[in-house]
Structure 1
Amino acid sequence: MAFGDDKQSGVSGGVTAVTSTVGNGVGGLLGTVGGVVGAAGRGVGETVTGVTGSYGKPVGDALYSLGDGVEGGTRKIARGVEDAGKGKKTW
């Protein structure tokens, strides 16, 4: 490949590499946090349902669903951050 054929050379290529690295790091961190919060919410929800039986089932189910929602939402945000770091359109 001849010099100058690279579409992402020089400063532009360097900026893209840095933003991609930062985007991947932040996206990975968000994914991890979302996974931990989601798992904790589901665990607490199951515990509440298990301890209280049918009386606490609505609260336990709500906590379980909240954990799933947080995890799914942060997963989408993390993917968007990673894509933005790579210069991809996120919408």
Structure 2
Amino acid sequence: MALGDDKKSGVAGGVTAVTSTLGNGVGGLLGTVGGVTGAAARGVGNTVTGVTGNAGKPVGDALASLGNGVEDGTNNIARGVESAGQGKKAW
């Protein structure tokens, strides 16, 4: 291996593989949880709006927006965890 080569071998390579796998697993799990939570909140928001009509629309819209925010936030965290696991700058 040439001096200055960025490829890791031995213990460093093994640690990188483990952290990358762990980062990808945790990142994937966070993305799934965020997606499910976001979809559930949007569904509840749409249900509230559908059942109550215009009277409940602000509450329904707020719940839907909250779901979108949770999903976006957890997706950003998931990408950061995956990047960190791969040894990349997270943000």
Residue 30 of structure 2: aligned partner: 30
Mapped to 1, the partners of 2:31 and 2:89 lie a distance apart of 19
- State the 1:90 CA deviation: 1.2
Amino acid at match of 1:68: N
Residue 59 of structure 2: aligned partner: 59
The TM-score with structure 2 as length reference comes to 0.93
Kindly provide the CA deviation profile for residues 16-57 of structure 1, in whole angstroms up to 9, marking residues without a partner as x: 000000000000000000000000000000000000000000
Residue 73 of structure 2: aligned partner: 73
Q: 2:31 matched to 1:21? A: no
Structure 1: runs of 5+ lacking an equivalent = none
Identity of paired residues, percent?
Answer: 80
Mapped to 1, the partners of 2:17 and 2:84 lie a distance apart of 12
Residue 86 of structure 1: aligned partner: 86
Mapped to 1, the partners of 2:72 and 2:89 lie a distance apart of 20
Superposition CA RMSD, Å: 0.9
Runs of 4+ that moved beyond 3 A? none
Mapped to 2, the partners of 1:50 and 1:41 lie a distance apart of 14
Mapped to 2, the partners of 1:85 and 1:53 lie a distance apart of 46
Aligned length, in residue pairs: 88
Mapped to 2, the partners of 1:30 and 1:89 lie a distance apart of 19
